[in-house]
Chain A
């Protein structure tokens, strides 16, 4: 019988780390300088009761790119705007351009700020898709994802989250000795087949 269960924090972490490592190795052929740094934080929200997603709070310089994707348990939850979680990517613009170079892109594709934002959206999209694939493979139910929303420095209106679970995992990833990007992940209890 399916039971409502919290995806264990270590399962979430491992699924996310494996997803990111696989994507960076396949897409950019780059190696991480060190293991990702893990933090568990309480969600801070704004006046609209949405999660604050601000790159400078993570230590990124001005001009960073923030991309977020909502997670939902069903189409009904999408319609009712009731997410079960969210994934937020914070990326340093300069180093994302370097990653684009490593992915084989060059010239205008890398110089154009819109293209960098598009690359971050797609990066966030792949991370979320791979994370879901791994969680579902652990026996948890399918999770629906929204299209990415990408902005400079912060998600202005904040990010909808599930208030049943007011903590999130932050993972900081290092390439070339620098914190090139960080990921916030918040996920409420979801059904698991026992």
Chain B
């Protein structure tokens, strides 16, 4: 079963996302990272087993957009589905996200309902 990588600097937000994933009936193993740099380290040792990345935008050290740009440029991980989960919801931000990662699989604006998250991530789990 594929692992899910949740990248968000708020540990509370990560818990809420994980809770929704569990409530939706997905029992996948979940990995966590507090920013882009940590996420790169996690991916480095789990790139063969991670099947979905849920990524926040605004984070310290390395933000989400820098992280997914890096992911898009590394062939070993470029095909892992990425879904942004962020407060940045303007059209300009959406365009920016899709421009750095053309294969982005979804864009969820916080706050979100459990149903919304389930609908977006279900196809990849």
Contact = CB atoms under 8 A, between A and B. Distances in A.
A119 interface: yes
13 contacts: A26-B111, A27-B16, A100-B12, A105-B15, A115-B11, A119-B10, A119-B12, A122-B12, A125-B58, A126-B110, A126-B111, A133-B89, A147-B58
A173 to B, nearest CB: 15
A152 B9 CA distance: 19
Interface of A: 22-23, 26-27, 100, 103-105, 109, 115, 118-119, 121-122, 125-126, 128-130, 132-133, 136-137, 142, 145, 147
Contact of B10 (A103, A104, A125, A142): A125
B45 interface: no
B58 A145 contact: yes
Interface of B: 9-13, 15-16, 19, 58-60, 86-93, 109-113
A104 B16 contact: yes
Contacts of A142: 90, 92-93
B10 A129 contact: no
B87 A27 contact: no
Contacts of A125: 10, 58, 87, 110
